[in-house]
């Protein structure tokens, strides 16, 4: 009983006060309640894929948004997780529930290696260098076709769960847990350090922060999350092929990440949830289904022109304002800050606040 | 075999140089990683094809019109799409990716997904040192050399070139010195895409034309630019030659491993970056505020 | 007044209900590309032919065929294909599934189709794994059948048979007793077995293998390989190419005026667009193919002519969706039902005349390859036209041409 009252108090004081948090709560509830309300297997398939890609996109944001290491080859970790889990599951006969973690572990290792190789690289050099790794991996895979299945990949994998609904819940709950964990990491003191590294690595080092260690750690963790997503992908589709290492997938996650808003973790997740079903829905039209990629690119471009920092920052700015005194966020309809009581609206109507980072 | 390697490496290196130098120029001046660079190359190839095959204009006229049209288009795209979001690096990045995808899909939609062949500008070939070199490839070399010389002349012997180099060196000070950096950036974009378009027109008859032809050169070009040093034109040229030769050596020396030439080129890039993080001739940029 | 209204309403409802009784066949393929276009074209021709004759006779009831066009986009994205197949099964309520092209995607689609126990007829991917699945787990995969193309192993046999014929001509016309063969195979898993088999079989067929070159499937420049092949003095370039490298090979061989003849599998050379893609240089390039105006079966020539008249281009092997639908018609009318479990045994025992021969399925639900059944043909590009030349005993075949020496 106490827990219920406590839960309700938390909800009222922490969640409902801010529209963005309320939205997130509503979204989580909708996600979990979907199969109950609308049990269409096609819709569940789309959302399962969306959840898997959402983990992938969130992991990219941790790397690119928070430490500024914009990774153009994130598909490497996704593919590493896919292939590892597939190979172990098929060759060693292990259960997918076990091999998924192996996939994440191998991806973790790959993340460490790539991070180490890229330690001295900065900015665009790092981005373009990371582009190379999935392609090198593809070359190696094609060189050992008996092991990797060549262009065909590995097929005949087992599913994690039997029914579409069960698979959906596995994906959705994994996504919620993974994204929340990544967000917690980004919101903690570690996150502050990561921000510092992105903004000015020299200053961070001068302050005594061991930046290489943090950069490596973030690379490895982001890679592990991407590998986890890849392993889920393999066992859902039951095929693990070289399409998971393609440049197109790397570019796709970059688009999702930036479209949703870098350095937010929830931004790319929102982007995936909006863009992936949208493109799929467009593709289902017989008349212009073949134009889906074109429409996708045009949508991205148009949104970018109006919301250059990404979708979620723009939306957040519309529904919330930041208090100039205590820097905490409030609903946009409020007159005074909920925490410190400072005036949120300018005293003179029509005046614009020129200070304060939005 | 040595002659084969020498000649093939030179020709491929020349093509890559055209692409890489343009890319480096844009990056150096405007700090834009233009993912759509090779997409413009593809557009020029398609434009050339359409003009040549559908309207029957001569090679020279079709080529010139194709290059001009694509350059104009690039300036338009820059004004409409890139300039509004200039301050947000991340947005510029995916804006160029989105542009490339749009071009790809438009070509897919208009011309279909199958492969097109463009008739060679020059037929026949010559035997040189025991290697048969088609005239088309010599044309590529000649055009590449001419364009590169032209760019060098423009950059190092004209006032516009001085402005471009100054902007590439330090944008803020160039602005303070009274140069219209926006206009300079736009001109740099035009020159860069013109180079890519020339590459498309001259190279397309040798390769096949399809809506996805921009992906493979993109990766190789990025490898070259990184290898040579972002923003360094000399580095791009040398990087292009290196990668051209590496690919030729891979294919000739290890016939069964010809498919690995992309991976090997990228591997070399990674190795060089480990040793020299700014590339061979690159300059580590000062942190820009 | 009310009574006639009710009767009218009932009649309307019955008419509606009767109209809703169609057999839904989903055609899955990359619709923006040639393969998907051919899938759809072949299917359209079958549907129009069947519906004009009144539809299918299912146990006494006449039901028309309705086609569902599903763009799998499999060339660019494998998950798009699985989404598409799930959509046509659950949303559009397709009864039968036909199509597929990219092997990786078809493997994934096969899983979905087998989950729902729907009959899935392949019309594009030749990989043996699809049939192996049937053998290893019959109860699950029995709903998969592949009426076209022959599985990759059988394509090899066709290759060797036709290659022998070409070598024979070389021996006769040029007096070379042991023609030299250069194997030019793209780096892909489907060629591995064939390359190994070639290196063993060709010497037994009195041909000498002078080397194996493996460019990338998307290579646009094969100068290196061709220079080396020229230097090795090859008479035949045995091609195993499915990607655009086939175009580069054709064009560059023509530009270099190579004396060697290119024969083997060259998927790009099977398309009408090949001549234009090689800018007219791809003369003498030959490849295994499926359709031509020759009498492989009584249906071949009328179909090819009708296809060309309707779509202004020749059919590729993907237009075998026509055969797939006609096959379905036969088994449904024979079994009197559309129930998948009852149709499977009928399919397994059927002997059906298709556009290219007589179709029977083996225990892996792949088509049985061989003279008298289905062998495929070989064609050669001669001055802008695809000319069929093998098997020589079929009516309509023309002679194979060698380049001037």
Contact list in B for residue A255 (CB cut-off 8 A) is 94, 97-98
Q: How confident is the model at residue B289 (pLDDT cuts 50, 70, 90)?
A: very low
Q: Can you give the pTM of this predicted structure?
A: 0.86
> And the tokens for A118?
């890229």
Query: Residue A357's pLDDT is what?
Result: 54
pLDDT tens string A152-193: 788 888 888 888 888 899 999 999 999 999 989 988 899 889
Interface predicted TM-score (ipTM) of this complex, two decimals:
0.82
Q: Flag whether B77 is in a domain.
A: yes
Task: Identify whether the C-beta of residue C94 lies closer than 8 Å to the C-beta of residue A44.
Answer: no
Q: pLDDT tens digits for C215-251?
A: 877 777 787 788 888 888 888 999 999 888 889 899 8
Query: Do A265 and A335 share a structural domain?
Result: no
- 8 A C-beta contact, residue C278 and residue C251: yes
Q: What pLDDT band is residue C6 in, cutting at 50, 70 and 90?
A: low
What is the CB neighbour count within 10 angstroms for residue B219? Answer: 18
* Residue A330 falls inside a structural domain: yes
**Residue A352, pLDDT score:** 64
The mean per-residue pLDDT over the stretch A193-216 comes to 89
User: Which tens digits make up the pLDDT trace of C31-69?
Assistant: 888 889 999 999 999 999 999 998 888 888 889 999 999
Cα dist. A195→A62, A260, C82 in Å? Answer: 10, 18, 39
**Number of domains into which chain A is organized:** 2
Domain ranges of chain C: 2-149+296-359, 153-289+376-390
Of the candidates B4, B117, B134, which has its C-beta nearest C278's C-beta? B117
Residue closest to C372 by CA, chosen among C357, C385, C360: C357
In a domain, A70, yes or no: yes
The mean pLDDT of B259-269, rounded to a whole number, is: 81
Average predicted confidence (pLDDT) for chain A: 86
Does B59 fall in a domain? yes
Q: Would residue A130 count as lying in a domain?
A: yes
Query: Mapped to the 3 state alphabet, what secondary structure does chain C carry?
Result: CHHHHHHHHHHHHHHHHHHCCCEEEEEEECCCCHHHHHHHHHHHHHHHHHHHCCCEEECCEEECEEEEEEECCCCCCHHHHHHHHHHHHHCCCCCEEEECCCHHHHHHHHHHHHHCCCEEEECCCCCCHHHHHHHHCHHHHCCEEECCCCCHHHHHHHHHHHHHHHHHHHHHHHCCCCCEEEEEECCCHHHHHHHHHHHHHHHHCCCEEEEEECCCCCCCCCHHHHHHHHHCCCCEEEEEECCCHHHHHHHHHHHCCCCCEEEEEEHHHHCCCHHHHCCCCCCCCEEEECCCCCCCCCCHHHHHHHHHHHHCCCCCHHHHHHHHHHHHHHHHHHHCCCCHHHHHHHHHHCCEECCCCEECECCCCEECECCCCECCEEEEEECCEEEEEECCCCCCCCCCCCCCC
A16 and chain B in contact, CB less than 8 A: no
The DSSP string of A7-56 is HHHHIIIIITTSHHHHHHHHHHHHHHHHHHH---HHHHHHHHHHHHHHHH
Is residue B68, in this structure, part of any structural domain at all? yes
- CA–CA min distance B276, chain A (Å): 9
Within a domain: residue B216? no
Measured CA distances, A68 to A60, A126, A198, C146, C349 (Å): 11, 10, 5, 50, 63
pLDDT (average), residues B44-60: 87
Does C268 sit within 8 Å of B255, measured CB to CB?
no
B207: which 2 tokens? 């390769």
pLDDT confidence band for C20 (50 / 70 / 90): low
Q: CA B225, CA B244: separation in Å to the nearest integer? A: 13
Total structural domains within chain B: 1
C223 to chain B: closest CA residue: B8
Domain around B92: 8-209
Interatomic CA distance for residues C91 and C106, integer angstroms: 20
- Note down the domain range covering A104: 19-281
Residue B116, pLDDT > 50, answer: yes
Q: What is the pLDDT of residue A23?
A: 87
Task: Tell whether A137 is covered by a domain.
Answer: yes
3-state SS, residue A288: coil
Tell me whether the CATH fold assigned to C2-149+296-359 matches the one assigned to C153-289+376-390: yes
Query: Chains with 3 or more CB pairs closer than 8 angstroms to A?
Result: B, C
The burial class, CB within 10 Å (0-12 / 13-18 / 19+), for C245 is buried
> Using one digit for the tens of pLDDT, what is the confidence trace for B5-17?
887 788 888 888 8
Same structural domain, A250 and A352: no
Distance separating alpha carbons of residues A337 and A328, to the nearest angstrom: 8
B144 within a domain of the structure (yes/no): yes
- CB distance C82–A237 less than 8 Å? yes
Residue C10 has pLDDT above 60, yes or no: no
pLDDT at B219 > cutoff 80? yes
Instruction: Examine residue B276 and state whether it is found in any structural domain, yes or no.
Output: no
Domain C2-149+296-359 top-level CATH class? alpha beta
> Chains B, C: CB contacts under 8 A, how many?
100
A135 with A39, same domain: the answer is yes
Q: Are residues A337 and A234 in the same domain?
A: no
Residue A3 maps to a domain: no
Q: Is residue A253 part of a domain?
A: yes
pLDDT number for residue B286: 46
Q: Of A95-104, B122-131, C7-16, C91-100, which gets the smallest average pLDDT?
A: C7-16
The predicted pLDDT at position A221 comes to 94
Residue B71 in any domain: the answer is yes
Query: Could you tell me the two tokens for C69?
Result: 């066009």
The predicted pLDDT at position A265 comes to 86
C286-297, pLDDT tens digit by residue?
999 888 888 888
Closest in B134, B208, B255 to C228, CB measured: B255
Least confident of A80-94, A159-173, B110-124, C240-254: B110-124
State how far Cα C320 lies from the chain centre: 6
In degrees and rounded to multiples of 5, residue C32 shows phi and psi of -80, -5
> What's the distance, CA B177 to chain centroid?
31
Could you tell me if residue A7 is inside a domain?
Answer: no
Minimum-distance CB partner of C188 among A150, A153, A286: A150
Fold of the domain built from segment(s) C153-289+376-390: Rossmann fold (3.40.50)
In this prediction, residues A298-319 reach a mean pLDDT of: 87
> Of the segments A100-104, A244-248, B116-120, C221-225, which one has the largest average pLDDT value?
A100-104
Question: C276–B117: do the CB atoms touch at under 8 Å?
Answer: yes
The reply to whether A277 and A357 lie within a common domain is no
Among B31, B76, B103, B105, most A C-beta atoms within 10 A, so best to mutate, is B105
Measure the CA–CA gap between C77 and B172, rounded to whole angstroms: 44
Chain A hits for B97, Cβ within 8 Å = 251, 254-255
Is B248 part of any domain?
Answer: no
């Amino acid at each position: 009983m106490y827990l219920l009252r406590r839960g309700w108090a938390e909800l009222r004081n922490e969640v409902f006060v801010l529209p963005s948090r309320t939205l997130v709560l509503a979204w989580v509830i909708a996600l979990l309640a979907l199969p109950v309300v609308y049990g269409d297997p096609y819709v569940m398939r789309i959302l399962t894929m969306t959840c898997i890609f959402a983990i992938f996109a969130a992991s990219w944001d941790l790397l690119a948004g928070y430490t500024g290491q914009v990774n153009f080859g994130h598909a490497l970790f996704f593919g590493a997780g896919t292939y590892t889990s597939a190979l172990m599951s098929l060759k060693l006969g292990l259960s997918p529930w076990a091999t998924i973690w192996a996939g994440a572990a191998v991806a973790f290792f790959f993340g460490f290696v790539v991070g180490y190789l890229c330690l001295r690289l900065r900015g665009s050099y790092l981005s373009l260098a990371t582009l190379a790794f999935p392609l090198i991996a593809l070359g190696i895979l094609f060189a050992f076709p008996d092991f990797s299945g060549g262009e065909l990949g590995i097929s005949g994998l087992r599913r994690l769960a039997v029914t579409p609904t069960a698979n959906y819940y596995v994906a959705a709950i994994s996504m919620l847990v993974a994204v929340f964990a990544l967000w917690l990491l980004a919101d903690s003191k570690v996150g502050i350090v990561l921000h510092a590294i992105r903004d000015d690595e020299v200053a961070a080092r001068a302050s005594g922060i061991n930046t290489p260690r943090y950069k490596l750690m973030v690379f490895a963790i982001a890679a592990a999350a991407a590998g986890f997503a890849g392993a889920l992908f393999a066992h859902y589709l039951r095929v693990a092929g070289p399409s998971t290492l393609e440049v197109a997938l790397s570019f796709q996650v970059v688009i999702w990440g930036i479209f949703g808003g870098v350095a937010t973790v929830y931004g790319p997740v929102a982007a995936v949830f909006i863009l992936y079903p949208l493109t799929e829905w467009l593709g289902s039209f017989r008349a212009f289904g073949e134009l889906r990629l074109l429409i996708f690119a045009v949508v991205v471009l148009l949104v970018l022109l109006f919301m250059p920092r990404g979708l979620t920052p723009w939306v957040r700015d519309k529904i919330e304002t930041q208090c100039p005194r205590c820097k905490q966020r409030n609903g946009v309809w409020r007159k005074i800050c909920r925490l410190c009581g400072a005036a949120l609206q300018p005293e003179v109507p029509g005046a614009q606040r020129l200070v304060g980072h939005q | 075999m040595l002659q084969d390697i020498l000649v093939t490496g030179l020709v491929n290196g020349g093509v890559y140089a055209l692409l890489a130098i343009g890319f480096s120029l844009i990056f150096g001046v405007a700090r834009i990683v233009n993912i759509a660079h090779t997409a413009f190359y593809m557009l020029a190839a398609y434009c050339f094809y359409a003009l040549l095959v559908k309207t029957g204009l001569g090679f020279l006229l079709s080529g010139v019109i194709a290059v001009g049209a694509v350059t104009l288009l690039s300036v338009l795209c820059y004004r409409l799409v890139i300039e509004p979001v200039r301050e947000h690096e991340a947005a510029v990045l995916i804006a160029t990716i989105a542009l490339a995808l749009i071009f790809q899909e438009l070509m897919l939609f208009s011309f279909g997904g199958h492969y097109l062949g463009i008739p060679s500008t020059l037929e026949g070939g010559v035997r040189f040192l025991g290697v048969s070199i088609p005239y088309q490839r010599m044309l590529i070399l000649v055009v590449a050399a001419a364009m590169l010389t032209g760019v060098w002349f423009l950059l190092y012997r004209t006032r516009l070139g001085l402005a471009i180099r100054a902007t590439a060196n330090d944008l803020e000070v160039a602005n303070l010195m009274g140069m219209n950096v926006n206009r300079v950036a736009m001109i740099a974009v035009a020159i860069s895409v013109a180079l890519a378009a020339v590459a498309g027109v001259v190279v397309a008859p040798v390769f096949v034309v399809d809506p996805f032809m921009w992906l493979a050169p993109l990766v190789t070009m990025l490898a070259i630019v990184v290898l040579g040093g972002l923003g360094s034109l000399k580095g791009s040229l040398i990087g292009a030659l290196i990668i051209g030769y590496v690919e030729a050596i891979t294919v000739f020396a290890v016939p069964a491993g010809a498919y690995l030439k992309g991976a090997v080129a990228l591997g070399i890039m990674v190795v060089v970056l480990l040793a020299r993080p700014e590339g061979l001739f690159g300059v580590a940029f000062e942190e820009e505020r | 007044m009310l009574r006639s209204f009710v009767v009218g309403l009932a009649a309307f409802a019955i008419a509606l209900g009767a109209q809703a009784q169609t057999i839904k066949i989903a055609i899955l393929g990359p619709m923006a590309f040639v393969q998907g276009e051919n899938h759809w074209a072949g299917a359209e021709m079958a549907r129009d032919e069947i519906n004009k004759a009144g539809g299918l006779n299912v146990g006494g009831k006449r039901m028309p065929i309705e086609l569902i066009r599903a763009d799998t986009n499999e060339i660019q994205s494998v998950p798009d294909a699985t989404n598409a197949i799930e959509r046509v099964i659950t949303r559009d309520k397709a009864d039968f599934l036909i199509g597929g092209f990219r092997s990786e995607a078809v493997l994934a689609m096969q899983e979905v189709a087998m989950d729902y126990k729907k009959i899935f007829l392949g019309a594009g991917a030749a990989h043996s794994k699809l049939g192996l699945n049937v053998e290893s787990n019959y109860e699950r995969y029995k709903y998969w059948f592949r009426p076209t193309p022959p599985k990759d192993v059988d394509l090899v046999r066709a290759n060797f048979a036709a290659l022998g014929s070409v070598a024979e001509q070389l021996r006769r016309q040029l007096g070379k007793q042991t023609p030299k063969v250069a194997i030019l195979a793209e780096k892909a898993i489907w060629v591995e077995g064939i390359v190994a088999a070639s290196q063993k079989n060709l010497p037994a067929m009195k041909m000498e293998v002078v080397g194996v070159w493996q460019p990338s499937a998307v290579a646009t420049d094969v100068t290196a390989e061709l220079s080396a092949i020229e230097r090795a003095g090859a008479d035949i370039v045995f091609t195993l190419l499915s990607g655009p490298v086939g175009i580069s090979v054709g064009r560059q061989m023509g530009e270099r005026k190579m004396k060697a003849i290119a024969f083997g599998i060259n998927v790009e050379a099977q398309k009408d667009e090949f001549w234009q893609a090689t800018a007219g240089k791809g003369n003498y390039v030959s490849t295994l193919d499926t359709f031509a105006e020759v009498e492989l079966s009584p249906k071949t020539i009328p179909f090819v002519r009708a296809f060309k008249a309707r779509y202004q281009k020749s059919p590729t092997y993907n237009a075998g969706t026509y055969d797939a639908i006609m096959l379905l018609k036969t088994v449904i009318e024979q079994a009197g039902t559309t129930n998948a479990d009852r149709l499977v045994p009928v399919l397994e025992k059927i002997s059906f005349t298709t556009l290219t021969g007589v179709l029977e399925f083996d225990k892996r639900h792949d088509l049985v390859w061989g003279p008298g059944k289905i062998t495929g043909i070989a064609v050669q590009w001669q001055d802008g036209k695809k000319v069929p030349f093998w098997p020589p005993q079929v009516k309509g075949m023309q002679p194979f041409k060698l380049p001037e020496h």
